[in-house]
Amino acid sequence: MTATEERPTPMGYGPMNRKEDARFVRGHGNYVDDIVLPGMLHGAVLRSPYAHARILSVDTSAAQAHPKVRAVITGETLAGLNLAWMPTLSHDVQAVLATDKVRFQGQEVAFVVAEDRYSARDALELIDVDYEPLPPVVDARKALDADAPVIRDDLEGRTDNHIFDWETGDKAATDDVFDRAEVVAAQDMLYPRVHPAPMETCGAVADLDKITGKLTVYTTTQAPHAHRTVYAMVAGLPEHKIRIVSPDIGGGFGNKVGIYPGYVCAIVGSIVTGKPVKWMEDRSENLMSTSFARDYHMRGEIAATRDGKILGLRVKVIADHGAFNGTAQPTKFPAGFFGVFTGSYDLQAAHCEVTGVYTNKAPGGVAYACSFRITEAVYLVERLVDVLAYDLGVDPAQLRMRNLLRPEQFPYESKTGWEYDSGDYPKALRLALEQVGYEELRVEQAAKRDRGELMGIGVSFFTEAVGAGPRKHMDILGLGMADGAELRVHPTGKAVLRLSCQTQGQGHETTFAQIVAEELGISPDDIDVVHGDTDQTPFGLGTYGSRSTPVSGAATAVAARRVRERAKLVASAMLEVSPDDLEWEKGRWFVKGDPAASKTISEIALAAHADLELPEGVEGHLDAACVYNPPNLTYPFGAYVCVVDVDAETGQVKVRKFVAVDDCGVRINPIIVEGQVHGGLADGVGMALMQVMAFDEDGNHLGGSFMDYLLPTSMECPSWELGETVTPSPHHPIGAKGIGESATVGSPAAVVNAVVDALRPYGVRHADMPLTPAAVWRAAQGDPIRT
Ligand code: MCN
Ligand code: CUM
């Protein structure tokens, strides 16, 4: 299926070209940097050249004297307004502009507002900051050493770099399983620091209207309502005086969940100058200072019987959170949803401990299509299963097949307390193995090994957990994770749907219209989806953790069903029969046994606004709304197989073939689902083979451009081969599960497993990402762990 084919609009689910593409492919997208307001000024951020240094003085006089500069804001200015520090999404604080120390290279130190962007940048050079360099903490594994410099001496009583200890599972039961196990395999592994690198960098245009007192912020955000509430709480402004608009933001990938200092500076800049202020970071600023992902140092152990029955998992993690704990995840989950590390397997016991530490690096950790750290969890367990297969000398696909949860075990409560809603795992794995031609590939591999050629086959199986989440378990900064949808049906039968979630490229304008179409029989072309503007949409926590379909999609379906029920009452008045005598068929209510006696949804919509005598208690109009509080997460899953060829001389890896079988329950729009999977698979190849945010021992950031931090292109990607199974979610109104992060979560392990499999003739059992040619070559020399 290709997205460019001409095709009719389906009246509901099915392949449909994206409505938003009409403007995107014509260059008519409206990104934050496209916003131009009358009299708008431009801001630029001065950043720290040091990873760790005391600020002795900041002299802004020369910058202030620049003829085009309108304001220079420092940490001291902000401290006067009580805005030098802001709360993070993880109940820590982060410096907006540094006052006492800088704590990572690229940290925000001062903000210049000028008449144009160039002058703002030029004036940064005129600011004189006197720094006293301090020794930095770069290696998370040394952050808790007794002699490690204390990064967060701003926090009262702080004498070390410890953030949190978190554990899950049953330690005693797990230790017992390990004590009794015939086989235990252990492996240290690093999921390196990587970056989501969306197409549009982060930025904001802030506009305070001094007459009305209303602040409008056009900004790159995945969660407009959450941002508004945070600004309201921090600035003490009432929410109705703040409007957050998130237009076509050019990709998010988790990079645009939190609030960055630059946004706050743009707002303060507008307050100080009385003019709109635009701040857009450049690519280096984005890579150096905004939410990174992963950075988990993991030690995993897997216990099994000699004949390959997996019994237990034991895990210890050091989590590098950077200089401020700015990770975006539900409050009770300091390690995100890493607790699903037991993966897709039936085992007896599991236990995990995660210790979070501060280092002199940018804050973040939860981004890049991670489903709140399920990327790390899946990578860990899928590498461990392969390590176990290696030690036992068995086929990794068969080992998985033997241990996968069976369909009759669902709903399944995992050993760490997650209730998997539905699945048929063996079916998905069987399909993937058939589709890729697994047996034949193993024969080909054996023949190649005989000839000294390196070919590898990597399998991964993943269970995702998306759609956060039940309000009683999940909140962000105390805000429960429910989302609203409002559906208004106009008199002519066209509709407008207002959503709290926010698309960043996932095609919500199309798929959410399709949900309404499926429920009401109004063409998706006639349904306008409005999102990304707090003045126009109901409250909700936004788009991340692939929660839009599981939460807002459910809200949409429920609201549409409420419209349908209202329509039924109006139709009964129109047809002069009891509502009980009516039956629904997509697009119309008809009289049972007399299908010709019917009213279409648009006839009903008109009547609902007309002078028809309505039954007692029926108000007229067909509008309805829903606030959806999900009863559980949804659990998409999938089976991936990757085939690589490795050049023994150069260490270069070529991904030759990749089969991905995904199950996201009912698919609303298969083209969009496939597009999401394609993107995620490319992410996986990127992380497995090319990407890392590296630092030198002084904490200098070594990945500040796309020359150093590599994005995968079509050259590195094979022609993806997709398959599907459909296991509806039993608790979701339309049986859909999320898909936005599945492939990013599931694919890195498949690629790494394939490369390690290729290197088997060298006795390689594990090698850390990214498997660059140099790393592959080193692994073949017996040096597999990146240090
Ligand atoms: N969909 C569908 N049928 C399903 C499930 C989903 O047709 N059974 C459709 C949805 O309706 C939606 C899309 O697939 O149009 C993705 O849906 P969903 O899985 O609900 O994910 P979200 O919309 O919440 O998107 C968030 C997710 C995340 S968290 C990251 S990170 C990521 C991802 O989406 N960022 C992206 N994919 C991205 N794709 C693009 N182009 N840009 C990003 O920034
Ligand atoms: Cu973890 S990236 Mo997405 O959840 O926005």
**Helices then strands (H, E): number in the chain?**
18, 33
The span from the CA of 540 to the CA of 552, in Å, is 9
Q: DSSP labels for 448-508?
A: HHHTT-EEEEEEEEEE--BS---TTT-EETTEE--EEEEEEE-TTS-EEEEESS--SSS-H
**How remote is the CA of residue 366 from the centroid of ligand 1, in Å?**
16
Predicted confidence at residue 618, as pLDDT, reads 85
The tens digit of pLDDT for each residue in 35-92 reads 999 999 999 999 999 999 999 999 999 999 999 999 999 999 999 999 999 999 999 9
Question: H or E stretch including 108?
Answer: strand 108-114
The span from the CA of 589 to the CA of 595, in Å, is 9
**How remote is the CA of residue 253 from the centroid of ligand 2, in Å?**
5
CB 288 within 8 A of CB 105: yes
Q: Which of 45, 222, 224, 58 is nearest to 130 (CA)?
A: 58
435: helix, strand or coil: helix
Q: Which two tokens stand for residue 563?
A: 């419209």
Would the CB of 508 count as within 6 Å of ligand 1? yes
**How remote is the CA of residue 255 from the centroid of ligand 2, in Å?**
8
Positions of the chain with pLDDT under 70: 1-5, 784-787
Predicted confidence at residue 787, as pLDDT, reads 46
- Cα dihedral value 21, 24, 29, 32, nearest 10: 100
Handedness of CA 243, 248, 249, 252 (dihedral sign): positive
Ligand that lies nearest to the alpha carbon of residue 557, given by its number in the listed order: 1
Helices (H), 583-722: 601-608, 670-689
Predicted confidence at residue 615, as pLDDT, reads 80
Instruction: Kindly give the number of the ligand 2 atom that is closest to the alpha carbon of 545.
Output: 4
Handedness of CA 145, 149, 151, 154 (dihedral sign): positive
Ligand that lies nearest to the alpha carbon of residue 508, given by its number in the listed order: 1
Would the CB of 541 count as within 6 Å of ligand 2? no
Predicted confidence at residue 707, as pLDDT, reads 95
- Residue 617 neighbours by CB under 8 Å, 6+ apart: none
Q: DSSP labels for 727-754?
A: ---TTSTT-B---TTHHHHHHHHHHHHH
**How remote is the CA of residue 112 from the centroid of ligand 1, in Å?**
37
Q: Which two tokens stand for residue 145?
A: 């050493």
Question: H or E stretch including 431?
Answer: helix 425-436
> Which CATH number applies to 369-410+424-468+633-780?
3.30.365.10
Ligand that lies nearest to the alpha carbon of residue 509, given by its number in the listed order: 1
**How remote is the CA of residue 253 from the centroid of ligand 1, in Å?**
10
**How remote is the CA of residue 712 from the centroid of ligand 2, in Å?**
19
**How remote is the CA of residue 543 from the centroid of ligand 2, in Å?**
8
- Beta-carbon-side half-sphere exposure of residue 480 (alpha carbons within 13 Å): 12
**How remote is the CA of residue 500 from the centroid of ligand 1, in Å?**
15
Ligand that lies nearest to the alpha carbon of residue 374, given by its number in the listed order: 2
CB 123 within 8 A of CB 69: yes
The span from the CA of 637 to the CA of 565, in Å, is 34
**How remote is the CA of residue 42 from the centroid of ligand 2, in Å?**
29
Select from 333, 741, 745 the residue to mutate for testing ligand 2; criterion: most ligand atoms less than 8 Å from CB.
741
Q: Which of 338, 295, 335 is nearest to 192 (CA)?
A: 295
The tens digit of pLDDT for each residue in 490-500 reads 999 999 999 99
**How remote is the CA of residue 506 from the centroid of ligand 1, in Å?**
5
Instruction: Kindly give the number of the ligand 1 atom that is closest to the alpha carbon of 549.
Output: 20
CB 262 within 8 A of CB 204: yes
Q: Which of 594, 560, 590 is nearest to 572 (CA)?
A: 590
**How remote is the CA of residue 737 from the centroid of ligand 1, in Å?**
10
Instruction: Kindly give the number of the ligand 2 atom that is closest to the alpha carbon of 547.
Output: 4
**How remote is the CA of residue 326 from the centroid of ligand 1, in Å?**
23
Q: Which of 313, 288, 309, 310 is nearest to 298 (CA)?
A: 313
Would the CB of 235 count as within 6 Å of ligand 2? no
The span from the CA of 664 to the CA of 513, in Å, is 19
Select from 246, 256, 257 the residue to mutate for testing ligand 2; criterion: most ligand atoms less than 8 Å from CB.
257
Q: Which of 92, 71, 94, 72 is nearest to 83 (CA)?
A: 94
Question: Residue 132: phi, psi to the nearest 5?
Answer: -115, 105
**How remote is the CA of residue 544 from the centroid of ligand 2, in Å?**
4
Select from 337, 366, 506, 742 the residue to mutate for testing ligand 2; criterion: most ligand atoms less than 8 Å from CB.
366
Question: H or E stretch including 163?
Answer: strand 162-169
How is the chain split into domains, by residue range? Answer: 32-134+201-249+256-289, 369-410+424-468+633-780, 482-628
Would the CB of 548 count as within 6 Å of ligand 1? yes
Predicted confidence at residue 611, as pLDDT, reads 84
CB 775 within 8 A of CB 786: yes
Would the CB of 738 count as within 6 Å of ligand 2? no
Select from 248, 497, 506 the residue to mutate for testing ligand 1; criterion: most ligand atoms less than 8 Å from CB.
506
Q: Which two tokens stand for residue 633?
A: 């997460």
Question: Residue 283: phi, psi to the nearest 5?
Answer: -60, -40
Pick 32-134+201-249+256-289's CATH classification: 3.80.10.10, 3.90.1170.50, 3.40.50.2300, 3.30.43.10: 3.90.1170.50
241 CB-contact burial (10 Å; exposed 0-12 / middle 13-18 / buried 19+): middle
765: helix, strand or coil: coil
Closest residue to atom 11 of ligand 1, CA basis: 511
- Cα dihedral value 171, 177, 183, 184, nearest 10: 0
- Residue 170 neighbours by CB under 8 Å, 6+ apart: 349, 350, 351, 415
- Residue 211 neighbours by CB under 8 Å, 6+ apart: none
**How remote is the CA of residue 2 from the centroid of ligand 2, in Å?**
26
Select from 221, 422, 546 the residue to mutate for testing ligand 1; criterion: most ligand atoms less than 8 Å from CB.
546
**How remote is the CA of residue 739 from the centroid of ligand 1, in Å?**
6
Predicted confidence at residue 245, as pLDDT, reads 98
Pick 482-628's CATH classification: 3.30.420.40, 3.30.360.10, 3.40.50.10860, 3.30.365.10: 3.30.365.10
Instruction: Kindly give the number of the ligand 2 atom that is closest to the alpha carbon of 369.
Output: 2
> DSSP secondary-structure letter at 553?
I
Instruction: Kindly give the number of the ligand 2 atom that is closest to the alpha carbon of 257.
Output: 5
Fold matches, 369-410+424-468+633-780 and 482-628 = yes
pTM above 0.90, yes or no: yes
CB 313 within 8 A of CB 127: no
Cite the beta strand spans of 533-652 per DSSP E.
Answer: 582-585, 588-591, 594-600, 624-628, 637-646
| Number of Cβ within a 10 Å radius of residue 152 | 19
Hey, what amino acid is at 68? Answer: K
106: left (phi over 0), alpha (psi -120 to 50) or beta: left
Question: H or E stretch including 721?
Answer: strand 721-724
Ligand that lies nearest to the alpha carbon of residue 506, given by its number in the listed order: 1
Would the CB of 313 count as within 6 Å of ligand 1? no
Predicted confidence at residue 472, as pLDDT, reads 93
Instruction: Kindly give the number of the ligand 1 atom that is closest to the alpha carbon of 251.
Output: 44
Closest residue to atom 38 of ligand 1, CA basis: 506
Q: Which of 530, 488, 487, 729 is nearest to 626 (CA)?
A: 487
Residue the block writes with tokens 């449909």: 16
Instruction: Kindly give the number of the ligand 2 atom that is closest to the alpha carbon of 368.
Output: 2
Instruction: Kindly give the number of the ligand 1 atom that is closest to the alpha carbon of 738.
Output: 19
Q: Which of 734, 719, 736 is nearest to 663 (CA)?
A: 736
Tally the residues of the chain. 787
**How remote is the CA of residue 566 from the centroid of ligand 1, in Å?**
31
Would the CB of 253 count as within 6 Å of ligand 2? yes
